[in-house]
Homo-oligomer: A and B are copies of this chain.
């Protein structure tokens, strides 16, 4: 779905068959997400986290999901709500703890959710590897720890490393600052975090953006995610995030 007909009212289309990744409704944004999908969710804590899209995914109803995200949600909203509704089979993250990880901890203790803990840098690199066509790589992170269990170990140049595999998503949910109709994205300050690597690691990448700008308005030296890594963009001008 790289090409969709342009909608009237978006940034000045003159050619009705031009590339336009901007969708007008949440239903369009979520279309095609299947039960059992691996869903990459951007953000570090609540900053850069695509909250509107997570709510859209809840509404959409897909279940049996594997969620890949640095954190496992806070309180009973957003990601935590998705978990609470029993939609998530497994979570792959580096840091499920939070100020209020109540939902995750309940499910985990009850054995109702599978947890794969991945060191944060290894998580980022496994996602980047998936996006860059690298099926596996070696890293020194976690050598000699219990997270090395069942992983292939190898000595290279006198140092020990673990083999880690690429982690690809069926879907990525991304939060951006600005977007254009080709799907080019910028981020704001530390809200960049996992978003660019997740955008490139998924088959279907859906971004929510605070600002939709005309094609050509973004500085080509400053685009952090080129549109080739983005399938759909939804305009969600929600204002300021709240740290949770």
Number of copies: 2
A109 located at the interface, meaning its Cβ lies under 8 Å from any Cβ of chain B in the complex: no
Q: Please indicate which of the listed interface residues A133, A135, A139, A187 has the most CB atoms of chain B within 10 Å of its own CB.
A: A135
Provide the residues of chain B in CB contact with A136, threshold 8 Å. 137-138, 156, 161
A125 touches B135 (CB 8 A): no
Cα–Cα, bound, A187→B219 (Å): 13
A85 located at the interface, meaning its Cβ lies under 8 Å from any Cβ of chain B in the complex: no
Q: Which residue on B lies nearest to A221, using beta carbons?
A: B222
Q: A135-B138, A136-B156, A136-B161 are in contact. List 8 more A-B contacts (CB 8 A).
A: A129-B137, A134-B137, A134-B139, A135-B161, A137-B138, A156-B165, A186-B221, A188-B221
- Selected A-B contacts with CB under 8 Å, 25 pairs: A125-B132, A125-B134, A129-B137, A133-B139, A133-B140, A134-B137, A134-B139, A135-B138, A135-B140, A135-B156, A135-B157, A135-B159, A136-B137, A136-B156, A136-B161, A137-B137, A137-B138, A156-B165, A186-B221, A187-B221, A188-B221, A189-B220, A189-B221, A219-B222, A221-B222
